[in-house]
Amino acid sequence: MAPPSAGDYYIKNIASGYFMTADDKDSFLTPVSTIKPTGDLNNKMSFTLRKGDGEWYCISATYSKANVGAPANPQQGSTAIWTRSEVAFRILDAGEALYNIHLVGENFFLYDDLLSTQPFHTVLFNKGSTADSAKWMFLDV
């Protein structure tokens, strides 16, 4: 299946059922997290995919305009962070309308840390893993 088109989406992790979420407008360098909605999805759960040159995308929170990013030298289990810089991700087909989000230039995939403290989970980088916790669904806003 082709990657999603550029546009606005809710991004849901298939293993947890949690949605990627933005917190405050000035939360740069803080962790990206997911949350299980208790009601309707809201603007803090809306993300914009911008297509770059080639096959990469930048993922930004519609609410805060912050970009999903990576620390300077990501390692196994590093936390995805909010950044002002555009960070390149490839959106790879994982079957059944699901996708893996791959950090360009690294062998890391975004995954939902299912062991994180409730009500939020932390989004981490996992080396080479495409398990269910690294599978995401892009739902039109």
CATH, residue 109: 2.80.10.50
- Sign of the torsion formed by the C-alpha atoms of 11, 63, 42 and 78: positive
What's residue 59's pLDDT? 98
- Is 49 among the domain residues? yes
The confidence band for 55, taking pLDDT boundaries of 50, 70 and 90, is: confident
Record the pTM. 0.93
What's residue 26's pLDDT? 57
**Domain containing 89: what range?**
7-140
How many folded domains does the chain comprise? 1
- Is 2 among the domain residues? no
Q: Note the pLDDT tens digit of each residue in 71-106.
A: 989 999 999 999 999 999 999 999 999 999 999 999
